[in-house]
Structure 1
Amino acid sequence: MKILIFGGSGFVGRHLAACLRQRGHEVTIPSRRDVDWMRPDAAAARLLLQGQEVVVNAVGVMSRHASVLEQIHHYTPALLAMQAQAVGVRRWVQLSALGADEAQPVAFVGSKGRGDAAVQASGLEVAVARPSVVYGRGGVSCELFIKLARLPVLVLPDGGRFLLQPVHVTEVAAGLAALAEQADAAGQVVAMTGGRVMTLAAYLDVLRQTLHHKPPLTVWSLPLGLIKPMLPLANVLSNGVLSPASITLLQQGSCADNRAFADLLGHAPAPAEAFAQMTQAAAGFQAA
């Protein structure tokens, strides 16, 4: 099939592109010059989309500016989906986020939810993927976690007791590829979560022991009340990576039933303890 991937050179997108090419598909990856996501050109987008059978939207950003999140996660996908439908694209696969909801007050997942709803209303066959915390080298949050895991002692908000269900990027890519290929995937909203629910502290400990081969992590708890006054400044310095909103999302948790995801993969998703070995295996395969 002819498959166009928006965000195909990004963290998840490049793994997806490799996976689809391995499966024999013709993959097109537009550049940022082809589509300006802050100021999209409908006519140019229509020309770009002509002849494509499937579109995958793997574009996502972190920003402290709600207007940027709304444009990139909501308004631009809505416009592009309308143009795709107009030129005969059949299917649209949307990479969203676990917890995405139109009514969410947190700008990141709220904008994702509104974008999901917009493309679902476009008339295309739409499938939505909503991953938990994604592990993979090059991911912004993952690289932060890997650096933190190297430290012997960490001071974490609330002792790092926030619940996560981390998932490996290669399995997210495989799940997205399956949604792109399957004609009966339309209407599906798939939670892409890993094989084990764990706390943030436990996840960092797993990374410390499996990646850095260090002894177990020591965690000291810092009450959230002491952190909150510093979060507005952290929001500016980290451009939204560490912010009141990100702490809210951690408190809400990032876990979901993964049986539909397992059906897409054909096997149970891997737990975090297997991530280091999976990354080595994937690197060896690519080198070969």
Structure 2
Amino acid sequence: MKVLVVGGTGFVGTHLAAELLDRGHEVTVLSRSPESDDLPPGVETARGDVTAYDSIEGAFEGKDVAVNLVALSPLFKPSGGDEKHFEVHLGGTENVVKAAEEHGVSKLVQMSALGADPNGPTAYIRSKGEAEDVVRSSELDWVVFRPSVIFGDGGEFVPFTKKLAPPYLTPLPGGGKTGFQPIWVGDIASMLADAAEDDDHVGQVYEIGGPEKLTLAEVARKAHGAEGRSVNVVPVPMGLAGIGLGIGGKIPGFPMGSDQYRSLKFDNTTDDNDIDAFGKRASDLKTLDAYLRDSSR
């Protein structure tokens, strides 16, 4: 099978490319900067930007499946403001779908986000929801993934948490009670590869989380604890945190803003974890503790 991984030099993309190669598939990675030391040997590369249709459409020729992983981080304020989410997630997906349809690609696996909703509370969530609508209304066979936060080597969730929640005396919005369901990148890459291979997944929207539901404070304690540092949470009222991040977001170079504050007001966890659709149980998935132990050796 010939698979095009759009955004394949990113965190999830490099792991997925390796997984697909291990399964015997021909893999092409499409990226704005396709040169990456993290890509496994044997991967073909193509250069293009999903926001510029003419730069990407040729890469879809002759491919059986496309996997669209292109995404801005929900953790940091994008340069260009909230509209950048719509330019990349919505506009980029429109271009991916158009190119896939015009070049006869039979299936699209779309990486969305947990809680994706065109009427959602953040620009990231709204743009992901609108992008899903584009995929579902296309002529393609499609599969949509809505994962919680993803952790692993090269990922930003653990480093971001350590930055947001410094050790020892740790001020956290709302006491760090926001819930997450972190999933290891190797586990999500395996499920994405299954969806690319198996037509039984066509037409499904999967909400995917890891084996544990953890609060932001618990994640901070685990992340710093693995390095021998303690965390003593000092609750910061959500309203006060919102004012601070709203002001900070107006400062050039400040990494967070009001959109990131709003994301801390709702949990990033599944109601029904759909990992069983891929023959997985919670006990099969790598925990954050196990990853942190492996990383500290």
* TM-score after normalising by structure 2: 0.85
Gaps of 5+ in 2: 34-46
Helix, strand or coil: the match of 1:191? strand
1:137-196 per-position Cα deviation (integer Å, ceiling 9, x unaligned): 322333222445662221101110111111111111111111111111111111110111
Deviations 1:203-240 (A, max 9, x none): 1111222x3133x4211111122222221243355878
CA RMSD after TM alignment:
2.3
Q: Residues 15, 8 of structure 1: CA spacing in aligned structure 2 closer, same or farther, 3 A cutoff?
A: same
Residue 142 of structure 2 corresponds to: 126
1:123-272 matches, within 5 Å, as 123-147=139-163, 151-209=167-225, 211-214=226-229, 216-236=230-250, 242-257=256-271, 259-264=273-278, 266-268=280-282, 269-272=285-288
SS at match of 1:89: coil
Cα distance between partner residues in 2 of 1:50 and 1:244 = 41
| Cα shift readout 1:241-286 (whole Å, capped 9, x = no counterpart) | 52222222221110104542243153323332222246589xxxxx
Larger deviation: 50-59 or 271-280?
Answer: 271-280
* Gap change, CA 1:15 and 1:57, over 3 Å in 2: same
CA contact (8 A) 1:162 1:250 kept: yes
Indicate the residue corresponding to 1:285 in structure 2: none
Deviation larger for 154-163 or 55-64: 55-64
- Alignment match, 1:23: 23
List aligned pairs for 1:50-69, cutoff 5 A. 50-62=61-73, 63=78, 65-69=81-85
Matched, 1:38 2:54: no
Corresponding residue for residue 37 of structure 2: none
**1:65-80 matches, cutoff 5 A:** 65-80=81-96
Structure 1 gaps, min length 5: 282-288
Note closer, same or farther for the CA distance 1:148–1:230 as it changes in structure 2 (3 Å cut).
closer
Match of 1:284 in 2: none
> Contact 1:37–1:72 at 8 Å: present in 2 too?
yes
Work out the CA distance in 2 between the residues paired with 1:231 and 1:219: 18
Letter in 2 for 1:95: M
For the residues of structure 1 that align with 2:26 and 2:271, how far apart are their CA atoms?
A: 32
The C-alpha deviation readout for 1:42-99, integer Å capped at 9, x for no partner, is xx53321011000000110132622211111011211221221222111101111111
- Bigger CA drift: 130-139 or 28-37? 28-37
Structure 1 residue matching 2:48: 3-state secondary structure: coil
CA–CA distance in 1 between the matches of 2:162 and 2:25?
33
Quick one: structure 1 residues 150 and 250, their matched pair in 2 at CA, closer, same or farther if it must change by over 3 Å?
closer
AA at the equivalent of 1:247:
Y
Q: Is the 8 A contact 1:171 1:265 kept in 2?
A: no
Give 3-state SS (helix, strand or coil) of 1:3's partner: strand
Q: Say which structure is richer in helix.
A: 1
Q: Give % identity.
A: 32
Give me the whole-angstrom Cα distance separating, in 1, the residues matched to 2:162 and 2:197. Answer: 33
